[in-house]
Amino acid sequence: MALLEEITQPGDLRELSRPQLAELAAEIREVMIDTVTRVGGHLGPNLGVVELTIALHRVFDSPKDTLLWDIGHQTYVQKLLTGRHAAFDGLRLRGGISGYASRAESPHDVIENSHASTALSYADGLARARELTGESDRAVVAVIGDGALTGGLAWEALNNLGGAPRRPVIVVLNDNERSYAPTVGGLAAHLTRLRAAGAGHHPAGGNVFEEFGFGYLGPVDGHDTAALEEALTRATGLGGPVLVHVVTEKGRGWRPAETNDLDRCHVVRAAPKAVAPGAAAKAPAAPSWTSVFSEEMVRIGAERENVVALTAAMPEPVGLLDFLREFPERTIDVGIAEQHAAASAAGLALGGLHPVLAVYATFGNRLIDQMITDIALHSAPVTLVMDRAGITGDDGASHNGMWDLTLFQAVPNTRIAAPRDGTRLRELLREAVAWEEGPTVLRFPKGSSGEDIPALDSTEGFDVLHNAPGRDVLIVSVGPMARLALDVAERLAESGIGATVVDPRWVAPVNPTLVEAAAYFDRVVTLEDSGRTGGVGSAFAQALGDAGIDTPVRTFGIPRAFLDHGSRAQVLEDCGLTPGAVTAEILDWRQRRSPVTASGAPERTSL
């Protein structure tokens, strides 16, 4: 790693010869492959932008010139070139560097965007600001992939950028024919024609970027630093908005990625830890939540011809790949366009079908307007499945699925389910696709579904998981927090406190029978892997108040804060969502406040 260790700032790159640049690119790929295959992360996208990142930092003077990346998971190369080589072993680990661009780490990381299709809007605003303040000697460069360009927000920005012929912004289109999956739609076909026509030639039907008002350079070989530097230098001299069309190969330089036609190793999981010699073999892990959903969707698809599946460029990550293989004509990939997916789902429902739209919970934030005005307002029977709900951990603040319950609980006519285990996921998914009176939302976390947690009893729509004598505490657990709730109940019992644990299954709207049951208890505790602000606990407390029940409620969940990256367990511990921390809080709560029961509440020995 001789050359890479000598690069402490981007300016050092300008001292290297062409052969040295090729050697440096090889070293960077070696470091990324070695690190990411051990700790996990976004490998394929970064392998594809090695030469492009080098060229950008040789032509432009970052951070004086501003480089904006859409999206920030492809900035590993930039981290290595901007003084973070020694810290790269700690990628995505607690106390280490982020897996995304991070303003706290470096002035070269200008925006921390980790949702696609946003960088062009940043560029438009930043260029306008510099125009208004008279800064004319600082370039604004935005790198966006062809996959991210399928998002509608990117075209809103292109419309504004192209309409300002004297405002210089350089858009670098990183065309690798993919987002997570292969790029789809009319844009993909148009870029194919541009690539086929070659540099300096106009394809039949024209060039959409030129029609939008951009100067156009390319296509350029994205792995030829000399060609890249020439095109980028030319772009700076043209003035006005310019698009440089760069063709790259996702996963370049690593055979497992180059031969993976599915996603080119977009994300690589951390290598499993070695088992010590003589250690007892671990029992097989329970299937992931995503795989349980995947299996059940295929079964439902075989039984119900009206069920169709939608994905926003992520059929494999959200568990729809098997459904796609089994029912290709009933599987729709809209590209990185969650808003369009939701509105299109409303149209499918109007046409008599039952669409199941599966997204990561963090990306579900993007379709809230369509959920309100296009789906719920029309009582459209659409099922929204949110994978990776709650704490995801190592991808950092933006990827935790901690806003969904707050947002979607506010949507009228919407039912929300949170399964506690794999069996409940299957049951609730079936209930969701059978519901034709309005939209449903089904949320589950990242990782293993764990062992099933059977109910002791089921009554009026909720499950009783643990039933203690007395009426000390009612614990309302949301989804997979049931395991935490049961552990807390056992610890409270050791202190002589009886805790009954229930799982509402459908957490919104609040079950009125469960509200009535809360009147029997001295206290209510809610546990959720979501935001406390506007979460299930908040809604349950409001329902108690509306019913005139004065049983005090203590809500446990994720604080109103952006959370540092780390493992799921580490972040949950930071939030106080561990058996010991929750139990201690409840005991302290009891000591600080004398029991208050609802006036005239009947005696009980069990729920």
Confirm if 497 and 582 have CB atoms less than 8 A apart: no
| Residue type at position 268 | V
Residue matched to tokens 């981290």: 79
What phi and psi values does residue 218 have, to the nearest 5 degrees?
Answer: 130, -170
**C-alpha angle 429-317-434 in degrees, rounded to nearest 5:** 15
Contacts of 91 (CB under 8 A, 6+ apart): 35, 36, 39, 41, 76, 97, 99
Cα separation of 387 and 505, whole Å? 17
Which parts of 354-504 are beta strand (E)? 354-360, 383-387, 415-417, 440-443, 457-459, 462-466, 473-477, 499-503
Alpha-carbon distance values, 265 to 115, 255, 394 (Å): 19, 10, 18
Helix axes 422-434, 289-303, angle to 10 degrees: 40
Based on the residue annotation, tell me whether 250 is a catalytic residue of this protein.
yes
Residue 25 corresponds to which tokens in the numbers above? 């690119």
Residue 176 known to bind ligand: yes
Cα separation of 76 and 485, whole Å? 39
Contacts of 27 (CB under 8 A, 6+ apart): 1, 2, 3, 4
Residue 73 known to bind ligand: yes
Closest CA to 291 of 326, 320, 327, 262: 320
Residue 224 known to bind ligand: no
Coil, strand or helix at 256: helix
Cα separation of 217 and 183, whole Å? 21
Closest CA to 173 of 206, 215, 110: 215
Cα separation of 40 and 563, whole Å? 19
Residue 190 known to bind ligand: no
Burial tier of 552 (Cβ tally within 10 Å: 0-12, 13-18, 19+)? middle
Based on the residue annotation, tell me whether 273 is a catalytic residue of this protein.
no
End-to-end CA distance of the chain: 66
| Residue type at position 326 | E
Residue 148 known to bind ligand: yes
Phi and psi based region of residue 481 (left: phi greater than 0; alpha: psi -120 to 50; beta: remaining): alpha
Cα separation of 266 and 85, whole Å? 22
Alpha-carbon distance values, 367 to 159, 266, 337 (Å): 21, 24, 9
Burial tier of 213 (Cβ tally within 10 Å: 0-12, 13-18, 19+)? middle
Catalytic residue, chosen from 167, 338, 388, 491, is: 338
Confirm if 143 and 77 have CB atoms less than 8 A apart: no
For residue 71, is the peptide bond before it cis, meaning its omega torsion is within 30 degrees of 0? yes
Residue 187 corresponds to which tokens in the numbers above? 């844009």
- Report the Cα 597 to chain-centroid distance in Å: 42
Based on the residue annotation, tell me whether 178 is a catalytic residue of this protein.
no
Confirm if 224 and 278 have CB atoms less than 8 A apart: no
Catalytic residue, chosen from 130, 167, 252, 366, is: 366
Cα separation of 253 and 46, whole Å? 11
Residue 514 corresponds to which tokens in the numbers above? 């469960």
Cα separation of 172 and 146, whole Å? 10
Catalytic residue, chosen from 29, 84, 250, 532, is: 250
Residues annotated as binding site for Mg(2+)? 146, 176
Residues annotated as binding site? 73, 114-116, 146-148, 176, 338
Residues annotated as binding site for thiamine diphosphate? 73, 114-116, 147-148, 176, 338
Which residues are catalytic, by number? 250, 338, 366
